[in-house]
Structure 1
C-alpha cells in the first residue's frame, strides 16, 4: 500500500455534516464564490432555499448570481437503463470522469455503472484508469459526486469481482474512509459498497488486503475493516478456512477483542464463534485419538495464543455457546 493511501486513511474530513439522507437531491451550480463549495454548506449559509452566497458580509442579490439548476438522481442498480450509444459513451468516458464539471462527472459515473451492468467487457481494457478516476470522485467534497462514485464502486465489485484486485487498494482506502465519517447518507452508501466487495471479491484475495487496516491508528477504520474481515472469512468455507490457516484467523480475531470501538469487538466475537464451529467440525471428522481433550478447542487456542488472549477468546466462545444452548 502506498504511503499516500495510508495518509489518506488517517484524516477524515471534519466539514461534512450528519443530516443528509435523501434519495434524490436538488443541486445548484454556483458561478460566483467558490465553485467547488459543497451544496450542503450553501444551504447552511442561506436562510432561504438555495440563494446566492454572501461575500464580505454583503448579501448578493439572487438576480446577480448566474446559476443553473440541475438534478442528480441516485439511481439504484436495478433501475438503471442501458446506454443508447455505447461507442459514443466509451469515447468520452475517461475525459468526462476527469471533468471539472461535477454534473458531467456524475453522468459519467452513472455511465460506468451502466457499462458495468450491461457491457462489462467493453471497459475491461481501461478498468484500471476508470477505477483511479472513480477514486478521484470519492475524494470529491461535493456529496452528489461522492455518493454517485460510491454507488459506482458497488457496481464495479459486482461486475468485475477478482479482476479488479490489482486496483483495489485506493478504492478500499476511500470506501473505508467514507464509511467512517459522520455524514449518514454517504456513510451508509459506503457500507453497502463494502458489503458488495465482501460478497463479490474472493476472500483469499481480499483478506490480505484488509489485514493492514485492522492495525490502522484510526479506530473507525479498524472497526469497518474488522466488519469486512468478519463477513469475508465465512465465504472461504470449511476447507478454505483450513487452507488459509485457522490459527492465523484466530490470532487476527483475538487481536480485535480489546479494540477501542464496540463494532470491532463485536465483529471479532462473531468471527471467533464461526471459527470455533469450523474447528470443531473438522476436528470431529478427523479425530482418531481416544482422548477428546487432545485436540479440543480450548487446547488449540492455548497452543496458538498468549495466555491472556486465549483466556479472552475462550471466555467469548464459552459465553456464545451457552447463549446458543439457552436459545435452543
Structure 2
C-alpha cells in the first residue's frame, strides 16, 4: 500500500459543518450528458453590488447564485442522448478543475455504468483513479456524487474492479468513518454494494489489513464488510478459505473498541460455528478421524485460552438466544 494511502487511512477528516442537507449540496440542475453552459455568468451573479458612501465602499446586498445539486438515486437516472460524445468527454470532465463539470461527468459515469457498461469498460482503468480523486474532494457535492458513482460501478463491474480496488476501498472506509452523516451513509451503502458485488475470495484479503488499522472507526467498518463477505463463500468456500484463519480474525475483533466491530465479530463467529458443526455432523470422516472434536475443542486448539473462552461464551449465548427465539 502506498504511503499516501496509509496517511489517508490514519487521518480522519475534521468534522465538517452539520448544516448540509442529506439530499442537497451546492450545485445546479441534474446533469444529463450536456455541458453546463454560462458558468461564468452564474459566477458573475454572485458578486456583491456596492455603493460609495463618503469615500467608503459599503456592501448593500449580494445576489448569490442559487446553486444546488440534486443527488439522483440510481433507479431514477435517465439514459444519455449521445453516448459517443459523452464517452469522448468523460475523462477530461472527471479531471476538470471546475467542480460543476466534475459532478456532471460523475453522473455520466453512473449513467454509462447502468445503461452502457460494455461501452465504458475499455476506459475503466483510466476512469477509476479519477473517481478516487473526486472522493478526496473537500466539496461535499463532489464527494457524495463520487461515492454514489462508486456504488454504481461496483454493481456494474464486479470483479473487474479488483485491480483498482485498493484506493477506492481506502477512501470509502474513510468517508464511512467521518462525522458528516449524509456522506457517511452514502459511503456505507457503497461498501455494502462492494461486498455484494465483488467475489469474497478476492475481497477478503483486501479487507483483512484494515482490521488492524489504528483508527477504530476504520476497523469497525472493515469488520462489518468482512463479516458480510464471509457467508457469501458458502460452507465449502469457508472450509477452503480456512475456518481456523477466520476464527482468529473474528476473535481479534471481539474485544475491539467499537460496538460495530464486536457485533460483526459475533455475527461471523456464529456463521463459522454453524459451518463447523454442520460439517462435523454430516462428515463420515469423523469416525475415521477421532481427533476431529466439538466446536469447543476446535476453539481451544486454535486460539489462546482467553480468546477461546471469549469466543465460546459468545457463541454459546448466541446459540441459546436462537433456540429461545425459535422455540
Q: Could you say if the C-alpha distance between residues 84 and 193 of structure 1 is closer, same or farther in structure 2, counting changes exceeding 3 Å?
A: same
Q: Could you say if the C-alpha distance between residues 72 and 21 of structure 1 is closer, same or farther in structure 2, counting changes exceeding 3 Å?
A: closer
SS at match of 2:67: strand
- Which of these residues, 66, 70, 87, is aligned with residue 69 of structure 1? 66
8 Å contact 2:147–2:172 — kept in the other structure?
Answer: yes
Structure number, greater radius of gyration: 2
SS at match of 2:66: strand
Aligned: 1:148 with 2:133 = no
8 Å contact 2:15–2:180 — kept in the other structure?
Answer: no
8 Å contact 1:17–1:182 — kept in the other structure?
Answer: no
Stretches of structure 2 lacking an aligned partner (at least 5 in a row): 29-45, 49-56
8 Å contact 2:177–2:221 — kept in the other structure?
Answer: yes
Q: Could you say if the C-alpha distance between residues 226 and 101 of structure 1 is closer, same or farther in structure 2, counting changes exceeding 3 Å?
A: same
- Which of these residues, 107, 116, 124, is aligned with residue 113 of structure 2? 116
8 Å contact 1:16–1:183 — kept in the other structure?
Answer: yes
1:244 equivalent in structure 2: 241
- Which of these residues, 292, 295, 298, is aligned with residue 296 of structure 2? 298
2:170 equivalent in structure 1: 173
Q: 2 CA distance for matches of 1:294 and 1:247?
A: 13
2:307 equivalent in structure 1: 309
Aligned: 1:91 with 2:88 = yes
Aligned: 1:12 with 2:12 = yes
Q: Could you say if the C-alpha distance between residues 120 and 61 of structure 1 is closer, same or farther in structure 2, counting changes exceeding 3 Å?
A: farther
How well do the aligned residues superpose, as a CA RMSD in angstroms? 2.1
Report the TM-score, using the length of structure 2 for normalisation. 0.87
Q: 1 CA distance for matches of 2:91 and 2:301?
A: 54
Aligned: 1:139 with 2:139 = no
SS at match of 2:68: strand
Aligned: 1:273 with 2:270 = yes
* Count of aligned positions: 300
Q: 1 CA distance for matches of 2:207 and 2:181?
A: 23
Moved runs in structure 1, 4+ residues, more than 6 A? 290-293
Q: Deviation of residue 125 (structure 1)?
A: 1.7
1:36 equivalent in structure 2: none
Report the TM-score, using the length of structure 1 for normalisation. 0.87
Structure 1 residues 28-71: Cα deviation after superposition (integer angstroms, max 9, x where no partner): 8xxxxxxxxxxxxxxxxxxxxx997xxxxx985544x7x54333
